[in-house]
């Protein structure tokens, strides 16, 4: 696995355990797993959309799909990763306070 032996993997695991702690590791794993699941489902949706668009409009010039794909992936990742989700909630709260102050 990437040229890493058992000893290297154990050391990496121990460092991650020390940095994040026992309570945060399951949250991080859950967030990353959910993000990967959403990434796969978005990829499948985009592939299905491409196939259906090609069958409907074969003569139409295709527009770049990267922008919509990147926006969908970014939106899903933001909603899945706990740290990013918390940061967005804090940002929204700050924006609301700024509106009240103004």
**Band (29; pLDDT cuts 50, 70, 90):** confident
pTM attached to this predicted model: 0.40
**Average pLDDT of every residue of the chain:** 78
pLDDT of residue 94: 92
CB 22 within 8 A of CB 13: no
């Amino acid at each position: 696995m990437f040229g890493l032996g058992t000893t290297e993997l154990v050391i990496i695991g121990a460092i991650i355990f020390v940095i994040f702690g026992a309570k945060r590791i399951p949250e991080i794993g859950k967030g990353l797993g959910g993000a990967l699941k959403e990434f796969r489902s978005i990829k499948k949706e985009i592939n299905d959309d491409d196939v259906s668009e090609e069958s409907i409009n074969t003569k139409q010039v295709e527009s770049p799909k990267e922008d919509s794909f990147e926006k969908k992936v970014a939106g899903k990742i933001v909603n899945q990763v706990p740290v990013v989700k918390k940061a967005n909630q804090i940002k929204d709260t700050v924006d609301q306070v700024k509106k009240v102050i103004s």
